[in-house]
Amino acid sequence: MNLHVVILAAGQGTRMRSSLPKVLHPVAGKPMLGHVIDCARALSPERIHVVIGHGAEQVQQQLDAADLNWVMQHEQLGTGHAVAQALPDTAGAEQILVLYGDVPLLQVATLEHLSRQAGAQALGLLTVNMQDPTGYGRIVRDAAERVMAIVEQKDASPEQLLINEGNTGIMALPGGRAAAWLGSLSNQNAQGEYYLTDVVALAVAEAVPVEVAQPTSEQEVMGANNRVQLAVLEREYQARQALRLMTAGVTLADPARVDVRGELVVGRDISVDINVVFEGKVSIADNVIIEANCVIRDSVIAAGSHIKAFSHLEQAQVGEDCEVGPYARLRPGTCLARGAKIGNFVETKKANIGEGSKVNHLSYIGDAEVGSNVNIGAGTITCNYDGVNKHKTRIEDAAFIGTNSALVAPVTVGARSTTAAGSTITMDVPADSLAVSRARQRNISGWKRPQKK
């Protein structure tokens, strides 16, 4: 079936009280509209049209992609008018699926079901039975339970307001009828708008079958009109992620206190303590332990590694059986080989740390190649920046960097060599040597402290 998707995203979203267009407000770090577009993509439609108006430039700029057709709706005259703007670009469509840019939790399976049920000939509606349908259009059925019309809250009679079946707004239009139906909409109603929902009565009048599908839950079709609803969507999304993780074999100390903002791939027997945030693309292998309050962004953690509390990882690769933290900061380009240890208050950047090497305390290791079985003492700094350019530090296998060493790059410390504590190393150190660069200590015997006058 030739399927076109039209996503409505032109509304202002006044109640967000924001300079950011409503559909750009994020759920799990991604604009709501981005979620809807991804959901549409999963249906592999012929074309995706996005109707924009308020903040159009900003919306298009943030989400532009080759497979999207941006359609301008200059004045927001109603949902029917909005879909009509996309019609000139939907030639050949057998079905036009209408989605909302501010309903981000919609599931692909629900849409597939709706789309299949409606096919090319029927009108498909996604409806939901609600505890409190206030504000939603109501599905009006006849005595035989056949759908007759949708009536908006503001146009409904007192009896119609008692109907609990609400219109989600998600709709599948038969391509062959869409143009005629949308062309005959009127705006003679309580809001003076061209209602997309009026196509239901038109379908009924023409004896076009109306098919109804329902989502798996009410939350799936929730929209966000304000930041309170946005927060509800966020929690719902995170609850789903937590469920997915636990099902996959991850132990969560508290499923309500973990956040996934991106794509998290997990192995089995992983343990995640409270308040851990995963951002971007993160992959975690079997038996990894992540302690409380870590932020892990665009990183890979291999099997058996242990990330201790309050650590921050960004574009880092952690090999097998490593230990990181507590309070470690692995910045982009950090790569730890098997069994490496990065301890508290250590910052690394563009650093390869070899197998079994240790940087246990209070150090900065940047633009560095560190071999295997190296021990880097507390307070070691790679002085990688001369104010203009960055330079490399090389520390070869089994070297021992004494406490409080300053390694002024470019510089190499050879294999098995030692730098004495407190040294400033400005020249290469050959293999198997000791480098000392500090003033010799003098002791003055019998020296008297100054007295207060």
Residues that bind ligand UD1 (CB under 6 A): 8-11, 51, 73, 76-79, 81-82, 100-102, 136-137, 150, 152, 166-169, 195-197, 223
Q: Is 78 annotated in some ligand binding site? A: yes
DSSP state, residue 429: B
What distance in Å separates the CA atoms of residue 305 and residue 356, rounded to the nearest whole number? Answer: 13
Q: Is 378 annotated in some ligand binding site? A: yes
- Of 165, 131, 162, 134, whose CA–CA distance to 149 is shortest? 165
Of the pair 59, 407, the CB lying nearest ligand UD1 is at: 59
> Shortest Cβ distance from residue 75 to ligand UD1 (Å)?
8
Of the pair 82, 395, the CB lying nearest ligand UD1 is at: 82
Structure tokens at 38: 């991804």
Q: Is 30 annotated in some ligand binding site? A: no
Cα 49–29–220 angle (5° rounding)? 65
- The residues with which 408 forms a beta bridge, in sequence order, are 383
Question: Residues 410, 414, 415, 417: is their CA dihedral positive or negative?
Answer: negative
Of the pair 79, 238, the CB lying nearest ligand UD1 is at: 79
Kindly name the residue from 54, 113, 361, 391 that is annotated as catalytic.
Answer: 361
**What stretches of 184-301 show up as alpha helix (H) in DSSP?**
199-205, 227-248
Of the pair 184, 251, the CB lying nearest ligand UD1 is at: 184
- Of 24, 11, 139, 21, whose CA–CA distance to 82 is shortest? 11
Q: Is 137 annotated in some ligand binding site? A: yes
> Shortest Cβ distance from residue 160 to ligand UD1 (Å)?
12
Phi-psi bin for 134: left (phi > 0), alpha (psi -120 to 50), beta? beta
Of the pair 166, 356, the CB lying nearest ligand UD1 is at: 166
Task: Please indicate whether residue 361 is annotated as part of the active site.
Answer: yes
> Shortest Cβ distance from residue 293 to ligand UD1 (Å)?
36
Q: Is 129 annotated in some ligand binding site? A: no
Of the pair 149, 399, the CB lying nearest ligand UD1 is at: 149
Rg (CA), the chain: 31
- Of 212, 196, 202, whose CA–CA distance to 124 is shortest? 212
What does the chain come to in residues?
Answer: 453
Whether the bond between 410 and the residue before it is cis, its omega within 30 degrees of 0, is yes
Q: Is 394 annotated in some ligand binding site? A: no
- Of 221, 217, 272, 275, whose CA–CA distance to 249 is shortest? 272
What distance in Å separates the CA atoms of residue 53 and residue 10, rounded to the nearest whole number? Answer: 4
- Kindly provide the b/e burial profile for residues 33-43, where b requires at least 16 CB atoms within 10 angstroms of the residue's own CB: bbbbbebbeee
> Shortest Cβ distance from residue 352 to ligand UD1 (Å)?
48
Q: Is 73 annotated in some ligand binding site? A: yes
> Shortest Cβ distance from residue 153 to ligand UD1 (Å)?
8
> Shortest Cβ distance from residue 98 to ligand UD1 (Å)?
9
- Of 58, 47, 57, whose CA–CA distance to 24 is shortest? 58
Q: Which residues are catalytic?
A: 361
Annotated binding site for UDP-N-acetyl-alpha-D-glucosamine: 8-11, 22, 73, 78-79, 100-102, 137, 152, 167, 225, 331, 349, 364, 375
Annotated binding site for Mg(2+): 102, 225
Annotated binding site for acetyl-CoA: 378, 384-385, 421, 438
- Which residues does the annotation place in the binding site? 8-11, 22, 73, 78-79, 100-102, 137, 152, 167, 225, 331, 349, 364, 375, 378, 384-385, 421, 438
